[in-house]
Structure 1
Amino acid sequence: MAKYILHNALRFLLLMVAVSVVVFTLVSLSPVDPVQANVGQAALLSMSPEKRAQLDAYWGVGTPLPERYLSWASALVQGDMGTSLRYNAPVAQVIASRAVNSLALMAIAWVASGVIGFLLGVLAGVRRGSLVDKLVKSYCFVLAASPTFWIGLLFLMVFAVGLGWFPLGFSVPVGKAAADVTLLDALHHIALPAITLSVVGVANVALHTREKTIDVMESDYVRFARARGMATWQVARCHGLRNLVLPAITLQFAQISEIFGGSVLVEQVFSYPGLGQAAVTAGLGGDVALLAGIALVSAALVFGGNLAANVLYGVVDPRMRRRGGAR
C-alpha cells in the first residue's frame, strides 16, 4: 500500500509540473498581447510610453519564461497561486468562487450521462439489430458528430428563447440579490446547461457499453444459460450486468475529462459563471496565473477520477487486488 501511494504521489507531482510548464509555454507563444487585450486598442494607441511600460511590467510582458515560471512555482509551493490580473483578485479566491458552480454542473451531467448512457447501451446491446438498437445508434452517432456549443445554442434557442421554459443564461436571476436567491432559482438556471452537457456525454458511454454488452451476450456462459431455458433479460440481469460493471466504471471515470472539456463550451454558451468561462477569459486576456491555476485544478480532477477508478477495480473485482499484490 505504501508503494502504491508513493507511486501515485510521484505521478501526480509529475503531472502537475508538466501541466504548468505546458500552460506557461503556450501562453508565452500565444500572439495575444495581454495589455492590448485588457485595455483595448483605442486606449493603447493613446497611451504614453511610460504608462505602457508600467502596464508591461504589471502583466509581465517581456519577462523571460523561465524567470516567470520559477517565480510562480516558488510561490505555489508556499501555497500562493498568484494573483489574477484579469479579475484583480487572488487566483485561489477566483477558483473557489467559481468551482461550486462548475462542480455542481459537472456532477449532474456526469451522473446523468453515465446512467442514461449505460442503460441505453445495455438496451441496444441486448436487442442488437432491432429497431431500438438502430434508434440508439443513430442518436449516439448524431450526438458524437455534433459540436457541444452547437447543441447548446440549439437548446438555448428552442427551450429558452422559443418555449421560454428556462432562463437565457447565468447561474442566478439577473438583478436579484444574492441573499434572495433560492435553491429553486439555482436549479432552474443550471437545468438547461446540465441537460446539454448530459446529452452530449451519453453517446460515448452508450456506444462502448453496447459493444461490451454484445460481447457478453455472445459468450459461452450466456449461451449455456439460454440453453437452460433462461429468458434473454433474465440472463442479462443475472449474468451480463456483473461483467459490465468494470467497463462501466472505466467509462464513467474516463468521462470526467470529457465532461470538464464540454463544460467550458457550455458555460460560454449559457454565460454560466464557472471555471470553464474563467479559463476562456484568462486565455483571451493572457492571465497566465489564473489559467495555470485552473489547468492544475482540472488536471487534479482528472487524475483523481482515474485513481478512483483504479481503486474501485479492486473493490469490484477481487482478482485485481490479487494481481496487484503479486507484483
Structure 2
Amino acid sequence: MNARRTAGAVPVMPRLILLRVLRLASLLAGVSVLAFVLVRNSPIDPIQAYIGADVDLTDEQLAKLRERWGLDRSPVEQYLAWAGTLLQGDFGTSTLYKAPVTDVMGARFGASLALMAVAWTLSGVLGYLLGAVAAMHRGRLADRVVSWYSYTLSATPAFWLGIVFLVVFSVWLGWFPVGLAGPQGVPAADVTFAQRLHHFVLPAITLSAVGVANIAMHTREKMTDVLNSDYVAFARARGETGAQIFKNHGFRNSVVPAVTLQFAYFAELFGGSVLAETVFSYPGLGSTLTEAALGGDVPLLLGIVLVSAVFVFTGNLIADVVNAAIDPRIRRRA
C-alpha cells in the first residue's frame, strides 16, 4: 500500500508546477489586455507627456508623431503589434529614458529586489516569532504589546508610515538621509557600500513593519488554535513544558500556514515597495512605475506591470510547492 502511494505521488509535483505555468500564461494574457485598455483610456497623452507641456506642435507634426508611434492605428492593431514584439522578447523603448524597457527595468530591478528581499525576510522571521510569543503568553503583557503593534500597523498605509519615519528619523533626529539611494550629487560609481546601506535602512524598515504585523497576527491565531486543541491538552497532562509543546506541536502545525501567507505576501510586498520607493525617492522599480504612469511612458508601464504579475505569481507558486513538499495532505489533493 505504501509502495502504491509512493509511486502515485511521484508525478504530483511536476503536474502541480505545469498547471501553475499554464495559469501564468493565461494570467499574463489577461493582465496585458487589461493594462493596455487602462493605459489606452488614460487621460494622459503620451505624446504631450513626451514633448512637455510648454512645447507647441502643429497638427501635421502631431500626426507624424502619432504615425511614428503607431497611435494612429486602432486599439486592436496597437495591442497586437505590441504583443507581437513582446513575444519576441522586445518590450519596446521607454519614452522617458530613451532606452530599451528591458535595460531600464534591469537597472532598477536590482535595487527593488534587495529592498523587498530584506523586508520579506524580516517580516517573515520577526512576524512568526512575535506571533508565537504572543500565543504562548496569551492574555499577558507580551500578547497585549504584540497585538497592539499588529492591529495598529495593519491599519497603517505604507506611504503614511514612511512619511512618519522620514519626519522622525530624518528630519527631527537626523539619523538617516531624507531619500535617494546615495548622497545627492555623488556619481553612482563613487557611492560606498556604507552610504548605500545608510540610505537603504529606512525604506527597508518601512516596508518590513506592515508585513511583520500581518504575519504576527496570523501566526498568533493559528498557534492559539493549536494550543487549545485536545492533543496539546493531553501533552500538558503528560507533563510537557511550554518549550516542548511549541517544538513538538506548535511549530509543526503553524509553520505551514505562515509559509503560505509569507509567499502570498508578494503582492502586498510589491505594492508596498511602490509606495515606499516613491516616498523615499528610492530608485527602484516601484518609483519607476510611478514615473512611467505620470509621464505617459506606455511601454515602460506595461513592461513593469507584466514583470510585477510574474513576481506575484512566482510567490504563489513557491508557496504551493513548499506546502506540497511539507504537507502530504496537499500532495494527495493535488
CA-based RMSD of the aligned residues comes to 1.6
Question: % of aligned pairs identical?
Answer: 55
Contact kept? 1:34, 1:59, Cα under 8 Å: no
After the TM superposition, which residues 90-109 of structure 1 pair with which residues of structure 2 at under 5 Å, given as runs? 90-109=100-119
Q: Who is 2:86 aligned against?
A: 76
Of stretches 158-167 and 172-181 in structure 1, the one that deviates more from structure 2 is 172-181
2:19 aligned with 1:7: yes
Counterpart pick for 1:204 among 186, 210, 214: 214
Q: CA deviation at 1:143?
A: 1.1
Q: Who is 2:63 aligned against?
A: 53
Cα distance in structure 2, aligned partners of 1:251 and 1:33: 39
After the TM superposition, which residues 166-177 of structure 1 pair with which residues of structure 2 at under 5 Å, given as runs? 166-177=176-187
2:75 aligned with 1:65: yes
Q: CA deviation at 1:57?
A: 3.5
2:24 aligned with 1:24: no
Contact kept? 1:35, 1:59, Cα under 8 Å: no
Q: Which runs of 5+ in 1 are unaligned?
A: none
Counterpart pick for 2:47 among 32, 35, 42: 35
Q: Who is 1:192 aligned against?
A: 202
Cα distance in structure 2, aligned partners of 1:262 and 1:62: 36
Q: Paired residues, what number? A: 322
Q: Who is 2:298 aligned against?
A: 288
2:268 aligned with 1:276: no
Contact kept? 2:92, 2:299, Cα under 8 Å: yes
After the TM superposition, which residues 115-130 of structure 1 pair with which residues of structure 2 at under 5 Å, given as runs? 115-130=125-140
Q: Who is 2:6 aligned against?
A: none
Q: Could you give the per-residue CA deviations for residues 37-60 of structure 1, whole angstroms, max 9, x where no partner exists? A: 3333332xx332223333334555
Cα distance in structure 2, aligned partners of 1:261 and 1:180: 31
After the TM superposition, which residues 129-278 of structure 1 pair with which residues of structure 2 at under 5 Å, given as runs? 129-278=139-288
Cα distance in structure 1, aligned partners of 2:144 and 2:63: 63
Contact kept? 2:176, 2:198, Cα under 8 Å: yes
TM-score (norm 1): 0.93
Of stretches 163-172 and 50-59 in structure 1, the one that deviates more from structure 2 is 50-59
Contact kept? 1:86, 1:282, Cα under 8 Å: yes
Question: Do the aligned partners of residues 198 and 215 (structure 1) sit closer, same or farther apart at CA in structure 2, a change above 3 Å counting?
Answer: same
User: What amino acid does structure 2 have at the position aligned with 1:94?
Assistant: V
TM-score (norm 2): 0.91
Q: CA deviation at 1:117?
A: 1.0
Cα distance in structure 1, aligned partners of 2:232 and 2:16: 36
Question: Do the aligned partners of residues 24 and 134 (structure 1) sit closer, same or farther apart at CA in structure 2, a change above 3 Å counting?
Answer: same
Cα distance in structure 1, aligned partners of 2:69 and 2:169: 42
Q: Could you give the per-residue CA deviations for residues 132-165 of structure 1, whole angstroms, max 9, x where no partner exists? A: 2122111111112211111001101111122111
Contact kept? 2:50, 2:95, Cα under 8 Å: no
Q: Secondary structure at the match of 1:41?
A: coil
Q: Secondary structure at the match of 1:313?
A: helix
